[in-house]
Amino acid sequence: MRTDVNTLVLAPNPASVHTTVQYRFAKGSTRCSIELVDIAGRRLQTFDVEAEAGELNLPMEQFAAGIYQIVMRRDNIVVKQTKLSLTR
């Protein structure tokens, strides 16, 4: 796998109870985070991650059904994002 690109995979998507975020930041990345953002652009949760690659389990029970964004940031710059559909 290439290490000079950012990757972001959600499973399951659509989700109902939780989703797992599989991420990989480009090699040499610092100050990395994964964010859950609602359709209005409000940050609902932010997770600082230490490893360049890994998995993050996001419980979704507390959020209403709808469309959300999962956003990868490196040095406070968006490097990748994808939609998450939450169903009930």
Ordered structural domains, the chain, with CATH: 7-86 (2.60.40.1930)
Q: How far is it, in rounded angstroms, from Cα 88 to Cα 72?
A: 25
Residues 26-66 pLDDT 10s: 988 889 999 999 999 999 999 999 999 999 999 999 999 99
Stated pTM of the model = 0.91
**E-strand stretches of the chain:** 7-11, 18-24, 32-38, 43-49, 53-59, 66-74, 77-86
What pLDDT is attached to residue 28? 85
What pLDDT is attached to residue 42? 97
Q: Report the mean per-residue pLDDT for the chain.
A: 94
What pLDDT is attached to residue 1? 55
What token pair was written down for 47?
Answer: 């997770």
What pLDDT is attached to residue 16? 96
